[in-house]
């Protein structure tokens, strides 16, 4: 069952999109490992951890009367969609009620459709509609719930959808859980306009990422990976990022000597001409945004980590713990 679901996402991708994830992970093999050791990852254990986390996240944050729900991209969200489908089968929506699912790209739309759920494009949402929740995965999560996303070249639409949702609920496995970002995951994915990629690379080098690289297909003749917006992705390694707590405690995070915090680096990268979006999901979460009179937030309100021992660990924003 687990294998067939994992293969669903792969089989649903055209050749132009699949390598975005696959080649990035091949280029950074340590992202597949549970630790930095040379031990081969236990793929069945990882898939089972993702699935358990997904079912718990959906159980706690989804119900059949929801109208609009966001669906992220990647291999983990496939289990989130499976869990939603199972929930709807057991608990059908009220009569004449439709549950609409907002995809975050081509791959996500395919997963929604193949599960028999109803997709609605982001730009077809009624003007004032907020999504009740969006479920998505992450490449790395720190203890403050900031995330790196975009390992599979989807980040712009994921951020749009998270920022229009009352809450972003993240589903991950134990490999993604780190105290600080850029501990195990090697780089920040950045979506850039093709014409600007060389100048963005140059500026990234100046702010502390000398090894920033354009993400390309492993077959050189097929060129750069393209996103759903037909943009390019740059992967920019930086020193491990400080958290807002480190900054409060007096650590400098202004880029001097290449030391940044999640917030300062995200803001600095967004200033570069040609950058569409940066794969750091940080700042306000949905609960904080609404308390401040805004709509959604890009930082999750909760992250569900499937663990190696079969348990699920939930890290919630303090606002949800109250």
Ligand X SMILES: O=C[C@H](O)[C@H](O)[C@H](O)COP(=O)(O)O
Catalytic residues: 158
Quick check: 98 and 150 in contact, CB under 8 A?
Answer: no
Q: Decide whether 40 or 98 has the Cβ nearer to ligand X.
A: 40
For ligand X, the closer of residues 6 and 259 by Cβ is 6
Shortest Å distance, C-beta 293 to ligand X: 28
Angle at 198 between CA 256 and CA 160, to 5 degrees: 80
The number of residues that bind ligand X (CB under 6 A) is: 17
- Of 137, 153, 132, nearest to 63 by C-alpha is 132
- β-pair type (147-148, 140-141): antiparallel
Measured at the CA of 54, the angle between CA 103 and CA 64, to 5 degrees, comes to: 65
Q: For residue 71, give the H/E element and its range.
A: strand 68-71
CB of 137 to ligand X, least distance (A): 3
Distance in Å, CB of 118 to ligand X, minimum: 21
Closest CB to ligand X belongs to which residue?
Answer: 74
CA–CA gap between residue 132 and residue 286 (Å, rounded): 10
For ligand X, which is the closer residue by CB, 204 or 280? 280
Identify which of residues 10 and 97 has a Cβ nearer to ligand X in the complex: 10
Dihedral sign computed on CA atoms, order 91, 94, 95, 96: negative
3 state SS for 154-178 = CCHHHHHHHCCECCEEEEEEHHHEC
187 contributes a contact to ligand X by CB under 6 A: no
Which CB sits closer to ligand X, 253 or 266?
266
Cα torsion angle, 153, 197, 178, 180, sign: negative
Q: Are 38 and 62 in contact (CB under 8 A)?
A: no
Query: Closest approach of Cβ 188 to ligand X, in Å?
Result: 12
Q: Which of the residues 35 through 94 are near ligand X (CB under 6 A)? A: 72-76
Within 107-166, which residues bind ligand X (CB under 6 A)? 136-139, 149-155, 158
Rounded least distance, CB 160 to ligand X, Å: 13
| Contacts with ligand X, residue ranges (CB under 6 A) | 72-76, 136-139, 149-155, 158
């Amino acid at each position: 069952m687990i294998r067939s679901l994992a293969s669903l996402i792969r089989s649903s991708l055209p050749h132009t999109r699949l390598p975005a994830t696959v080649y990035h992970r091949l280029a950074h093999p340590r992202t597949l490992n549970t630790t930095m050791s040379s031990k081969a990852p236990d793929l069945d254990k990882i898939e089972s951890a993702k699935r358990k986390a997904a079912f718990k996240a959906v159980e706690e944050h989804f119900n059949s009367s929801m109208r609009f729900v966001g669906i992220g991209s990647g291999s983990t969200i496939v289990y989130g969609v499976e869990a939603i489908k199972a929930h709807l089968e057991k608990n059908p929506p009220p009569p004449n009620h439709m549950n609409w699912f907002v995809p975050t790209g081509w791959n996500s739309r395919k997963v929604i459709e193949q599960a028999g759920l109803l997709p609605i494009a982001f730009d077809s949402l009624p003007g004032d509609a907020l999504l009740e929740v969006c479920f998505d995965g992450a490449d790395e999560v720190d203890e403050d719930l900031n995330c790196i996303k975009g390992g599979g070249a989807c980040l712009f639409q994921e951020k749009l959808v998270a920022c229009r949702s009352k809450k972003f609920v993240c589903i991950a496995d134990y490999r993604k859980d780190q105290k600080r970002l850029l501990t195990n995951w090697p780089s920040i994915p950045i979506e850039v306009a093709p014409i600007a990629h060389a100048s963005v690379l140059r500026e990234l080098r100046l702010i502390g990422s000398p090894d920033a690289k354009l993400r390309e297909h492993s077959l050189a003749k097929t060129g750069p990976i393209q996103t759903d917006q037909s943009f390019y992705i740059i992967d920019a390694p930086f020193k491990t990022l400080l958290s807002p707590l480190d900054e409060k405690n007096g650590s400098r995070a202004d880029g001097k000597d290449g030391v940044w915090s999640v917030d300062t680096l995200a803001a600095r990268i967004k200033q570069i001409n040609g950058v569409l979006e940066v794969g750091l999901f940080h700042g306000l979460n949905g609960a904080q945004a609404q308390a401040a009179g805004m709509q959604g937030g890009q930082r999750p309100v909760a992250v569900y980590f499937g663990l190696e021992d079969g348990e699920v660990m939930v890290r919630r924003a303090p606002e949800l713990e109250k």
